[in-house]
Structure 1
Amino acid sequence: MGLHPKGFDLSLDRITRLLDVLGNPHRKLPPVIHVAGTNGKGSVTAFCRALLEAGGYSAHVHTSPHLVNWHERYRIGVKGGRGQLVDDAVFAEAVRRVADANAGQHITVFEILTAVTFILFSEHPADAAIIEVGLGGRFDATNVISDPAVSVIMPISLDHQPYLGDRVELIAAEKAGIMKPGFPVVIGHQEYDAALDVLMSTAERLHCPSTVFGQDFMAHEEYGRLVYQDEFGLADLPLPRLPGRHQYANAAAAIRAVKAAGFTVTETMMEKAMSSVEWPGRLQRLSEGRLLSHAPAGAEIWIDGGHNPGAGEVIAEAMANFEERQSRPLFLITGMINTKDPVGYFKAFTGLVEKVFCVPIRGSEAMIDPVILSNAAYDAGLVAEPMLTVGDALEAIKAVLDPEALPPRILVGGSLYLVGDVLSDNGTPPK
């Protein structure tokens, strides 16, 4: 992988050339659920997988980035069972084939990995392929898919502005690029009317049958249950296993997307999916592992890779909901890269956290120096201190903790790369 540039260079020319040499495997896929969005696209991918597997369908899944190991990006569907991460040897052979086909020509790492996706998913039979966009949509390497069973657009907010634009309507236009003329579109919850307007007008222009959260389908909590409703009826379901009220809308979008893709979705499938869904590194609680020895006894430790202001808001809301159920002092351990908006992220936690500890991201040239990140936290109205490692931060929390208080709640986040480091150091990589 080191032979190829790691930066973003948005274009479909290189991936199209490479796939042509490989025999165009992207045209030999099972029905594709193609998912884009600033936030929530990973969660809706996880819900789609859980729904399909609950119905006995086999579903390939492509996500990015990986947290610990490269092969996490590829889950191979198993008929009647749980899909499995691709075997290391199979992954390595697919990478070799793609590299040989590329013959040393200029290409990005993500384009190589996307070509690997299409090889793996075209050569292993399955009922569906759920493919998450990497960046944007219009020029993302996954957007060579011309006939998706359904395109799904999740919440859009500001992120990756140098590549996608500095207004939500510009970013929405890039995400809308995965819509294909005449093919169904599911539009998830949108906070910004400007984004929703762009998505709906694009779907109308392309004659895409569209269903929109809040208009054509919806979900809400009632008496500790999730109530889902669309034009086909109403379902009374358990709350999703994934924490946070924002997951209600994500679950709803997945249900509607799987239906739009042509699959039968029963209430039994929905019930099973809500209870079985998993999505590592997103409001994931660490209940075991090596890092826990550094934390105060009885501490709740949560990790979440959300890294933009919109993600900060939903994560902070989840922390506030936890606080309503059981009050604990909240501490934040954060590392971020320099393409993000740390002040915007931190502002969501104003009034919630006792203190922020800022740490480096191992091996990242783009990380924000912990001292500078601490200053950003101060600018957002938070008390912050730079630390060398997550372990050191956990030890520091022990030192500042009020001995009369309940054991703390600790959130580690701000970057998927930091979350990957934590899962690796903790000895609990995704499986």
Structure 2
Amino acid sequence: MGRAEEYLNQIPMWTKKKHSVEEVRAFLNALGAPDRDVPAVHVAGTNGKGSVCAFLTSVFRQAGYRTGTFTSPHLVDMRERFLINGAMADEAVFERAFETVRGIVREMEEKGFGHPTFFEFLFYMAVIIFREEKVDVMVIETGLGGRLDATNALEHPAASVITSISMDHTQYLGDTIEKIAWEKAGIIKAGVPVIFDASNPGVRTVIEGAAFRRGAARYPVNSPDFQVEGIRGGHLEVTVRLLRGDSLRLEIPFEALYQAQNAALAVRTLEVLRGPCRQGRAGVPGGERVCLPADRQENEIFRRITDRQIAEGIQTTAWPGRMEQIRPGLYLDGANNPGGIEAFLRTAGEIAASRREKAYLLFSALSDKDYGHMVRLLAEGFVWAGIGVLTLESARGLPGAQLAEEFKKWTACPVTVYQGTGEALPAMLEQAEGELLFCTGSLYLVGEIRKALERV
């Protein structure tokens, strides 16, 4: 572990208070406002935002744009949060960005500002890295929520994207789906188009209302906008309806059914960016969807994106830990809330049915998640041949024994408690030999398994 990473990991020990969006803006300005140098796509949501970022990154790269992508969390290496054309930032660039931000933090502290939180510090590093790497476009994922998130200091992104919204982080974002949607809709800005998952009527009402009030053109994406044709050779075959009236065939390199919606959101975003499409009344409830006016200077660079580049970019997307078959029969999925677990179960069921094989489950969760609801969904939504639970290495990891007790409330399936991933993985792989093993509950679990596989 380098000096920068050691320092960053210690930040939560002494800094917990978030800065306001206005204070984050002041930090960015002190850094020279590098976020104003290039257009950005700002992505929020409960589930799928990382996948949408990955799809967009791959298409931009395919179209010849140098792309900087900021996502979280990382699985193994902290530099995974800072991607240049889909690859981790160079270690030397990472260290230089850290030193730059650390220097400005000292200056801001002398002016009375508090030390940035872990996420804020990383966001500042991201825009510095992207400036040094001379990217053409940034893809920025929110950390938590949207309205009060550090990334919302982006003043005028090229587009705002809101993915699937479900119940998660209720202690911070609200105890209803509408309250959570309102927080996510906080990224919508005047004159900036918003592309969003409209599958939930309550969520759609909130987002469309926010877009209308802020004068933002809105582009809902719902089930009629795409069709899953089938799963073949570990890929989804999907048809997406385009704004101009025709359709685009996609081969998505994942088996997870939920990736069809995420890919459709990415395609719609790219359509809007490259505009124009057709005339209509933007920002008016019930009005036709339109693409951007031709005179938006910041979007001129996106005009040359073609349908072929979109299809090829989607097809070559890499995004680990999202129903990823990392070895034959071994699947890793970072679902970490009830909505994500429901989507996970739909795909796990399809895979198990198509292969006619038994399925085993390895599960773990963080203590601040709705683990009780997730466990019940997993127990009642699938017939498992065996279940293993463990305690994550994270300080927020829930004890495996507690998870086992939760499972026993809802299923008679045998549940084995393991001390950690190092013990659980080889035992579960042996138990599920020749069958299927699904690992889910947290991206932290995915990261631990990827590291453990190097030793198995």
Matched residue count: 404
Query: Quick check: 1:329 aligned with 2:358?
Result: yes
Query: Aligned residue for 2:404?
Result: 374
Stretch moving more, 4-13 or 106-115: 4-13
Q: Which amino acid aligns with 1:365?
A: A
Q: Which amino acid aligns with 1:38?
A: T
Residue-by-residue CA offset, 1:306-365 (whole Å, 9 max, x unaligned): 100000011111101102211111111111111111122123332332222111111x21
Shift of 1:85: 1.4
Distance in structure 2 (CA, Å) of the matches to 1:335 and 1:212: 34
Work out whether residues 53 and 139 of structure 2, in 8 Å CA contact, stay in contact via their aligned partners in 1: yes
Query: Quick check: 1:185 aligned with 2:194?
Result: yes
Distance in structure 1 (CA, Å) of the matches to 2:247 and 2:253: 17
Query: Aligned residue for 1:339?
Result: 368
Query: Aligned residue for 2:228?
Result: 221
Residue-by-residue CA offset, 1:129-173 (whole Å, 9 max, x unaligned): 111111100111111111110000001001111111111111101
Shift of 1:372: 0.5
Distance in structure 1 (CA, Å) of the matches to 2:163 and 2:250: 22
Query: Quick check: 1:23 aligned with 2:32?
Result: yes
Query: Aligned residue for 1:392?
Result: 423
Work out whether residues 94 and 120 of structure 1, in 8 Å CA contact, stay in contact via their aligned partners in 2: yes
Q: State the secondary structure of the residue aligned to 1:368.
A: coil
More helix by share: 2
Distance 1:71 1:183, change over 3 A: same
Query: Aligned residue for 2:285?
Result: none
Distance in structure 2 (CA, Å) of the matches to 1:394 and 1:388: 11
1:410 to 429, 432, 437: 437
Query: Aligned residue for 2:218?
Result: 210
Query: Aligned residue for 1:305?
Result: 334
Stretches of structure 2 that go unaligned for 5 or more consecutive residues are 1-7, 232-236, 275-301
Work out whether residues 43 and 279 of structure 1, in 8 Å CA contact, stay in contact via their aligned partners in 2: yes
Work out whether residues 227 and 234 of structure 1, in 8 Å CA contact, stay in contact via their aligned partners in 2: no
Residue-by-residue CA offset, 1:48-99 (whole Å, 9 max, x unaligned): 112222222222111111111111011124xxxxx43111111011111111
Stretch moving more, 36-45 or 6-15: 6-15
Cα RMSD (Å) of the superposition?
2.1
Query: Aligned residue for 1:176?
Result: 185
Residue-by-residue CA offset, 1:256-284 (whole Å, 9 max, x unaligned): 11222232442311321232011011111
Distance in structure 2 (CA, Å) of the matches to 1:358 and 1:278: 28
Distance 1:206 1:333, change over 3 A: same
Q: TM-score, normalised by structure 1?
A: 0.88
- Taking the TM superposition and a 5 Å limit, the aligned residue runs for 1:21-420 are 21-28=30-37, 30-77=38-85, 83-103=86-106, 105-190=114-199, 192-214=200-222, 218-222=225-229, 225-262=237-274, 263=302, 264-287=304-327, 300-349=329-378, 350=380, 351-362=382-393, 364-381=394-411, 383=413, 384-397=415-428, 407-420=434-447
Distance in structure 2 (CA, Å) of the matches to 1:193 and 1:341: 23
Q: Which amino acid aligns with 2:121?
A: I
Distance in structure 1 (CA, Å) of the matches to 2:412 and 2:56: 37
Shift of 1:12: 2.0
Distance in structure 2 (CA, Å) of the matches to 1:187 and 1:10: 27
Q: TM-score, normalised by structure 2?
A: 0.83
Q: Which runs of 4+ in 1 moved over 6 A?
A: none
Distance in structure 1 (CA, Å) of the matches to 2:51 and 2:400: 29
Distance in structure 2 (CA, Å) of the matches to 1:36 and 1:392: 36
